[in-house]
Amino acid sequence: MVKFIKPGKVAIVLQGRYAGKKVVVVKNFDEGTKERPYGHAIVAGVERYPLKVNKSMGKKRISKRSKVKPFIKVVNYNHIMPTRYGLELEEIKKSVSTESFQDPTQRAASKKTVKKLFEERYTTGKNKWFFTKLRF
């Protein structure tokens, strides 16, 4: 079978709390690990998408509406659907790893860095589709 869920691939979560949310695969485990003996991936996604912005809005209002709330999670391959889109994630790879799930403070720190990177990417206008809600 061809391995098509690779780091940088954008996917949609199908099951659970974050169903319908877009994620980017940070690291994949095709054969699984000792504690998770199934194919899974570490993903970083958007829990709350940024709101619409108009030209008539001021800078303060635009900055408030451009906030992104991220999440990081380990997801079974059966619960994500890959898309044709990709996202460069060198900085995200450095901040999110298997060790960041061990301690809540490490998890919070990695979420903060992911938030900063997502907001930076959104304000520059890159990967526009990733930061829009699904229609459904």
Cα torsion angle, 95, 117, 76, 108, sign = positive
**Domain range summary for the chain, segments of one domain joined by +:** 9-131
Q: Three-state SS for 90? A: helix
In this structure, which CATH number among 3.40.50.10540, 3.40.50.300, 2.30.30.770, 2.160.10.10 belongs to the domain 9-131?
2.30.30.770
Helix then strand then coil, in percent of the chain rounded to 5, is 35, 25, 40
Q: How far is CA 113 from the centre of its chain?
A: 12
Chain mean pLDDT for the chain: 90
Task: Indicate whether this model's pTM tops 0.85.
Answer: yes
Both tokens of 35, joined, read 């504690």
- Binned at pLDDT 50, 70 and 90, residue 96 comes out as confident
What does the pLDDT look like over 29-39, one tens digit per residue? 988 888 889 98
- pLDDT given at position 31: 84
In this prediction, residues 56-72 reach a mean pLDDT of 93
Both tokens of 96, joined, read 């999110």
- Binned at pLDDT 50, 70 and 90, residue 1 comes out as low
Q: Three-state SS for 129? A: helix
